[in-house]
Amino acid sequence: MSPSRWTLRHHRLQAILAVASIGTAVALPVVLLSVGGGVSQHELSQLESSGYQLSVSAAGVHGISGAHALVSQIESLPNVAAASPVLSVPVDVFLPTGAVTPALAEGVIPGAFLATQGPTTAGLFPHPLPLGDPSDLAHFANGTYAGPAALDVLVASPFALDFGLGVGSTLMLGATTNRSAATPFTLTGEFGVPASTLGPAAVFAIVLPLSDLQQMTGFARAGGADGTLLDQADTVEVALVGPAATDVAAITAVQGEVQRLAPFYGVSALTDQANELRASIGVLNGFYLALSSVSLTIGLLFLGLVLVRRVEADRRTIGIRRALGLPAAQIALGLARDGLVLAAAGGVAGVAGGIAVVVGLARLGSGTAATAAGLAIFDPVTLGLLYAGVLFLSLGASAVAARAALRLSIPEALR
């Protein structure tokens, strides 16, 4: 008895097409919003769970010089738990088999490094880092590098697996491809590689004492003879003591003091970065919605066409209702109900389809796309708003159809 039931049954193909077009239109924003939101959220939580709150870095290509001195100054500030300099340099690894492979070397102070890592990263490393002198000062010896070098190195476990390395293996490391200029290091441990949105990035990473890497790569202090002040690092990460670590005022205070110690370098707080990231998430979501509005517009246009087409097909029935004098509002309501039913079905199909695409990609896909899909968040509020928006907009499509229905001349419609 409901005209809606009848028309939906008798125009099955049109109904399927309308549902499919709206479904496709809705699936796109579902995928974009859930994956985009998930990736951003993941980055945000990584930022928020990182083990350090401040980071010092030099602008441009210059590194931070006088790293050891700066670190001990920072560490003597109140509320600072640890300061960890990191120097990253690509080096060549000469393997026992005679092969050569490039690797990214990270020079660190063994005793400070883990204190500035978040729990996830820290868990990937052996505790304490088996890299000789924890303070890295014995070899550094006030910038003379006259003390005994540790010559210990940690390698990423995929790297070790690939080349059949184990604890005790000897690796020759050099800044150039010249094997005779390389330095022998002993492999004293392995570390795991974190899953990252961009795939396992640290597969070919190695970690060694800062002073050893500085000396090997020419970033050591040049004995003061020519007045250069290398002792270089790329960044210094600063971890605050427990309660201060989550106290924005304390972080800002320490940030100011570190900045005073290192006036030429940038000192940034992770809370700022998190805020920037949050702002950019908002911009991205807006962008995703704008992009999706194109597909939604097309889906709703299609719905409008289907409904207008239905008015054409049902002109006789509509003509009869109008001839009997049924109020126009009843006829318009019938169409609005048809439109809502189709939009609701399309919306469900789109949300389910979008979720299915993301889940399928996460399970069956590979590489970056699969990793990103794995981080997707299906926020019920966002999806609910999207769904409600589609229902609301379908009323516009129904209004177009209702207008067509009420403009039919009755004698024409009845012929």
Partner 1 sequence: MSPVPEVALREVSRSFFVGRPEEVRALRGVSLRLPPGDIVSVEGPSGCGKTTLLNLLGLLDVPTQGEVLWDDRSVAARSERERARLRLTGVGFIFQRFYLLPTMTARENVELPMRALGRPAAERRARADHLLDEVGLSHRRDAFPHELSGGEEQRVAVARALANAPGLLLADEPTGELDRANTDQILDLLLRVRAESGATLLLVTHNPRVAARASRHLTMEDGRIVGDGPGA
Residue pointed to by tokens 């990253």: 88
DSSP secondary structure letter of residue 90: E
Considering the complex, state which of residue 276 and residue 312 has its C-beta at the smaller distance from ligand ATP.
312
Per rule CB under 6 A, is residue 415 in the interface with ligand ATP?
A: yes
Considering the complex, state which of residue 294 and residue 323 has its C-beta at the smaller distance from partner 1.
323
Residue 108 pairs in a beta bridge with 86, 209
Considering the complex, state which of residue 282 and residue 327 has its C-beta at the smaller distance from partner 1.
327
Q: How far apart are CA 353 and CA 131, in angstroms?
A: 51
Residue 185 pairs in a beta bridge with 171
The pair of structure tokens assigned to 91 is 């080096």
Considering the complex, state which of residue 10 and residue 260 has its C-beta at the smaller distance from partner 1.
10
SS3 category, 72: helix
Q: Are 159 and 203 in contact (CB under 8 A)?
A: yes
Per rule CB under 6 A, is residue 127 in the interface with ligand ATP?
A: no
Footprint on residues 375-414 left by ligand ATP (CB under 6 A): 411-412
| Minimum distance of partner 1 from residue 325's CB (angstroms) | 3
| Minimum distance of ligand ATP from residue 413's CB (angstroms) | 9
Residue 153 pairs in a beta bridge with 187
Q: How far apart are CA 67 and CA 108, in angstroms?
A: 11
| Minimum distance of partner 1 from residue 3's CB (angstroms) | 6
| Minimum distance of ligand ATP from residue 334's CB (angstroms) | 24
Residue 299 CB neighbours (<10 A): 30
Where would I find the beta strands (DSSP E) of 126-218?
A: 152-156, 170-174, 183-191, 205-209
Count of residues of this chain found to bind ligand ATP when the rule CB under 6 A is applied:
3
The entry of partner 1, ligand ATP, none near residue 327 (CB within 5 to 8 angstroms by kind) is partner 1
Q: Are 45 and 38 in contact (CB under 8 A)?
A: no
Q: How far apart are CA 20 and CA 312, in angstroms?
A: 21
Distance, CA of 306 to chain centre: 40
Per rule CB under 6 A, is residue 316 in the interface with ligand ATP?
A: no
C-alpha to C-alpha distances, 158 to 68, 193, 204, 208, nearest whole angstrom: 31, 8, 8, 17
Considering the complex, state which of residue 9 and residue 415 has its C-beta at the smaller distance from ligand ATP.
415
Considering the complex, state which of residue 103 and residue 413 has its C-beta at the smaller distance from ligand ATP.
413
| Minimum distance of partner 1 from residue 38's CB (angstroms) | 47
| Minimum distance of ligand ATP from residue 319's CB (angstroms) | 11
Considering the complex, state which of residue 143 and residue 334 has its C-beta at the smaller distance from partner 1.
334
Residue pointed to by tokens 């389910």: 352
The entry of ligand ATP, partner 1, none near residue 317 (CB within 5 to 8 angstroms by kind) is partner 1
Q: How far apart are CA 153 and CA 376, in angstroms?
A: 37
The entry of partner 1, ligand ATP, none near residue 330 (CB within 5 to 8 angstroms by kind) is partner 1
Q: Which residues of the shown chain bind partner 1 in the complex (CB under 8 A)?
A: 1-3, 5-6, 316-317, 319-328, 330, 409-411, 414
100: closest CA among 91, 113, 87?
A: 91
| Minimum distance of partner 1 from residue 403's CB (angstroms) | 13
The entry of ligand ATP, partner 1, none near residue 369 (CB within 5 to 8 angstroms by kind) is none
The answer for residues whose C-beta is within 8 angstroms of residue 129's C-beta and 6 or more apart is 108, 110, 111, 113, 114, 154, 189, 207
Considering the complex, state which of residue 9 and residue 127 has its C-beta at the smaller distance from partner 1.
9
Residue nearest to ligand ATP (CB): 411
User: Which residues form the interface with ligand ATP (CB under 6 A)?
Assistant: 411-412, 415
